[in-house]
Amino acid sequence: MTIERVAIVGAGMAGLTAALALARRGIACDIIEQATRLEEVGAGLQVSPNASRVLAELGVLKTLEPVWNEPDHIALASGLSLRALANVPVGRFARERWRAPYGVLHRTTLQKALLSAVEKQPSCRLHLGARLDHPSLDAFTAITGHRPDLVIGADGVWSQVRTIMPQAPVPTFSGNIAWRLTIPSRKAPPAMKVNAVTAFMGPGAHLVCYPLKELDGYNVVAISTGLNPGQTWQAHASTRQHDLLMQQFSLWNPQIRELLSQARDATFWPLYEVERGRWHNDSTTVLIGDAAHAMMPFAAQGASMAIEDAARLAVHLGRPGPLPARLSAFEQERVARTDKVRNRGAFNRFAYHARGPVRLARDAVLSLRSPQSLAADLDWLYGYDACDP
């Protein structure tokens, strides 16, 4: 079966990247988005080489490079003492070793760049304000005026498309929440470095910060246990939530505690994971991105996996053969890949949040690792080419 037209539900990273990748293969795309205008919620985003390689292939990277930061290294530091424990070189090193850059930017910057590229594609049409309470081929046809050969669910962790998929994955609350705030450069504590992504590790929690050129400031994300506010990306903290945050960081360095004490206007979102299940129904529908495999952010690969999914789905749909076989091959390949990333994230979670003797052993081991050896551990992740046919 030749795929001539698809309906993509969701105009986030996964959906817009999929539209670009498919359009380059001559496949017409209708992108269905329930929002009346695109306003990406959130602040910072890390784009590792495995994702930036795809963006370069799609012609989007060149619009990002003038406005993003390419940090010199990713640093691991103690949240208690602020002592640097290890670092992974990126910057020029990433371009040389993995043949693609490592950049940090505002989410809105990436979404706008993808949207601009999509709008220049004559075979792509964006349908805003199109809510799908009961997804079906007839509903898609009513919105787009065309009956799609395939529906791609790129509508996130609370996917509506996933609800019509037999044996689909199930989202569950992880028990963790991510606090999000931005700090102007003039107010940033000395622990925040302008040339690095820094992950501060502490008992039961961790905090990541990096500079955002667009804001002349720093993106800060603190991850800890917390109360589930429901299906939202931008919950506002109650006094109880903020008190719980401060309790969890009570042993941390004063610089970090002072930073978080002033974060009463910060927002947070619940961290959901999507369990194993089917990503396609053999004929009409397939899931990508968080709709298929939302994971904890401990490997900083959520957006990158969605971008990879989009590129790999386009590769598989461009191959000959029965559609069910192509969808199965896509799912099998991506499940293996995302499982490996998920396992890396679980390991990072254990290491980042270690307590007591385990924390001391972690610090000792990290201090013995060279930057080059730590980089070599990431070759399988950052060196992956999702555009390889």
Distance CA(355)–CA(349), nearest Å, equals 12
- Sign of the Cα pseudo-torsion (131, 39, 192, 243, in order): negative
- What is the DSSP-derived secondary structure letter of residue 228? -
Instruction: Indicate whether 1 pLDDT > 90.
Output: no
- Which has more confidence, 238 or 130? 130
- Are the C-beta atoms of 130 and 32 separated by less than 8 Å? yes
pLDDT score, position 371: 97
pLDDT score, position 232: 66
Distance CA(293)–CA(284), nearest Å, equals 19
Distance CA(338)–CA(308), nearest Å, equals 10
Instruction: Indicate whether 4 pLDDT > 70.
Output: yes
The pTM (predicted TM-score) of the whole model is: 0.95
Instruction: Indicate whether 262 pLDDT > 80.
Output: no
* Token output for 254: 């004063």
* Distance set, CA 79 to CA 53, 196, 249, 325 (Å): 32, 16, 9, 49
Distance CA(111)–CA(114), nearest Å, equals 5
Mean pLDDT on 370-382: 97
Mean pLDDT on 136-164: 91
Compute the 3-state secondary structure of the chain and give helix, strand, coil in percent, each to the nearest 5. 40, 25, 35
245-261 tens-digit pLDDT:
888 899 999 999 999 88
- The residue count for the chain: 389
Confidence of residue 233 (pLDDT cuts 50, 70, 90): low
80-123 tens-digit pLDDT:
999 999 999 999 999 999 999 999 999 999 999 999 999 999 99
| CA nearest to 2, candidates 318, 312, 280 | 318
Mean pLDDT on 2-23: 96
pLDDT score, position 138: 85
Confidence of residue 269 (pLDDT cuts 50, 70, 90): confident
Q: 3-class SS at 138? A: helix
Instruction: Indicate whether 226 pLDDT > 90.
Output: no
* Token output for 92: 């020029």
Residue bearing tokens 């990748």: 21
Distance CA(97)–CA(84), nearest Å, equals 23
Confidence of residue 20 (pLDDT cuts 50, 70, 90): very high
pLDDT score, position 149: 95
Query: Which parts of the chain fold into alpha helices (H)?
Result: 13-23, 49-57, 61-64, 91-97, 107-119, 137-144, 239-248, 254-261, 290-293, 302-317, 323-352, 356-368, 371-376, 379-382
Q: 3-class SS at 233? A: coil
pLDDT score, position 41: 62
Confidence of residue 342 (pLDDT cuts 50, 70, 90): very high
pLDDT score, position 36: 77
Residue bearing tokens 């792509």: 124
- Sign of the Cα pseudo-torsion (40, 104, 43, 243, in order): positive
CA 276: distance to chain centroid? 18
Number of H helices, E strands in the chain: 14, 15
Instruction: Indicate whether 287 pLDDT > 90.
Output: yes
Average pLDDT, the chain: 92
Distance CA(322)–CA(318), nearest Å, equals 11
pLDDT score, position 250: 92
205-215 tens-digit pLDDT:
999 999 999 88
* Token output for 57: 């292939």
pLDDT score, position 198: 97
Q: 3-class SS at 64? A: helix
User: Which domains are present in the chain?
Assistant: 5-171+273-382 (3.50.50.60)
Amino acid, single-letter form, for residue 44:
G
Instruction: Indicate whether 268 pLDDT > 90.
Output: no
Q: Give one DSSP letter per residue of 3-14, joined into a string.
A: --EEEEE--SHH
First vs last Cα of the chain: how many Å apart? 19
